[in-house]
Amino acid sequence: MIKKKYLNVYKLLTGRVATNIADSLFYMAILWYFKETGHSPLMVALIFSIEAGIDIISFGFGPLIDRLSVKKLLKYSTLIQIVISVIIACVLYLKQNNVIIDIFLLLLFGISTILSSIIYPTEYKLLPVLVEKKDLLHFNGLFQVSYKILDLVLDGITTFIIATTSISITIIISAVIFTIALFIYARVQINMLAKDVLKSEEYFTGSYLKDLQVGWVTLKSESNIIELILPLCVVNFFFGIYDVGLPYFAESYIHDSAIGYGGLLMVSSIGSILGALVIQHFKLGKKNMEAFITLCFLGAGIFRLLVPLTVKTSVIFALISSAISSLWITMMNIDFETLVQTSFSSAILGRIDTINDSILSLMIPLGTFGGSWIIEKFGSISTQYVYGVALLVSAIYYFGVTRYRKRLK
């Protein structure tokens, strides 16, 4: 019954899965090209910088995402990615290595990354008009578990494809999968009521800059969401500290090889998948969603602190604690996404989502710089303690905010 009712949602999910696979193949192939063809490590660093930089400035895409037709955005963005993949495959086939070619490839990579930064928020804003509010948490969890499982297996599969074929063949495969995504997006149907919601003139001025300002003003006017976003920025800063320290911590305390780091990443991915599966069975109203964020931060913080506290006595227990912490974090992220979707009209969700992403993305690279200093001064284990404490402090903050609101009512 639900499959017929939400057939377009499953089409959207299938298109998103195909896009995710194609993106991963494309990204890994480009990264591998610059890594394996004798270029300077600076070129590899540029790829990471381009990706991070586009995440930070993604708020600038918000007015376009909200103003343009959702179906056209999905179709034309995907079509351009197909063209880019074919062009790059042809360039790689010619085997002409020089600075101009490198710059050209980086430019195409940047355009493809921008298009991905447009596709994902477009799908995010489309979901609430295709799904009833009571089912949003379920479908956000379903989308997330699909991504997490893909992330867990794609890097290994992509590396295998590159090793057994070639970089240019891998790019061609990505183009084929982008084509499949395009075929699926073309078959997503949006009814007239949903179109009316998406094109509500209340949120549009006819000016790009004013539309962008409307997004900021609308976000600021929803004080409940602002109170939740600001601490998330702080947590993301400390996540950057934790993330940069993780490989050093793993090598020192889990296993003195890449196995230690890989093991931590693996259990965290498993925890995230379980979190995305568990959250699908929750039925939370808007007020309960805010309270649930407090519980998630508390659970994540406790188990994140247990990792460095127990790793010297039991590596297995530390790994399990890491998985459980990731489970709580994933549930919190999905809960927060759903809360934002239920707090704003889909007509402005493109701007709201990209503004949030820009703010949160900015904090992680800042945290990595701080993490490098902490590792040198206090050791890698301190980066794990810092992040755990930050999560617990956030839980206390959210608890205080929700209690304060109850007193006002």
Query: 10 Å Cβ neighbour count for 107?
Result: 12
Instruction: Report the candidate in 245, 375, 255 with the shortest Cα–Cα distance to residue 304.
Output: 245
Mean pLDDT of the chain: 85
Q: Would you say residue 385 has pLDDT above 90?
A: yes
Report DSSP state, residue 404: H
Q: Using CA atoms, how far apart are residues 260 and 294, in angstroms rounded to an integer?
A: 31
pLDDT tens track for 193-241:
677 777 777 788 888 999 999 989 888 888 778 777 878 888 888 988 8
Question: Cα 242 from chain centroid?
Answer: 17
Query: 10 Å Cβ neighbour count for 209?
Result: 9
Q: Using CA atoms, how far apart are residues 304 and 309, in angstroms rounded to an integer?
A: 9
Say if residues 110 and 54 touch (Cβ distance below 8 Å).
yes
Say if residues 85 and 23 touch (Cβ distance below 8 Å).
no
Tokens 């995504």, located at residue:
181
pLDDT tens track for 230-240:
788 888 889 88
187, two tokens: 């078959």
Tokens 């494309």, located at residue:
26
Q: Using CA atoms, how far apart are residues 229 and 340, in angstroms rounded to an integer?
A: 10
Q: Would you say residue 321 has pLDDT above 70?
A: yes
Helix axes 7-36, 99-130, angle to 10 degrees: 160
Q: Would you say residue 393 has pLDDT above 70?
A: yes
Provide mean pLDDT across the span 112-136: 88
Place 1 in a pLDDT band, splitting at 50, 70 and 90: very low
Buried b (16+ CB within 10 A) or exposed e, 224-253: bbebbbebbeebbbbbbbbbbbbbbbbbeb
Say if residues 350 and 211 touch (Cβ distance below 8 Å).
no
pLDDT tens track for 53-106:
888 889 899 998 988 888 889 999 999 999 999 999 999 888 777 788 888 999
Q: What angle do CA 187, 190, 191 make, to 5 degrees?
A: 135
Place 405 in a pLDDT band, splitting at 50, 70 and 90: low
Q: Using CA atoms, how far apart are residues 308 and 385, in angstroms rounded to an integer?
A: 7
Provide mean pLDDT across the span 279-289: 78
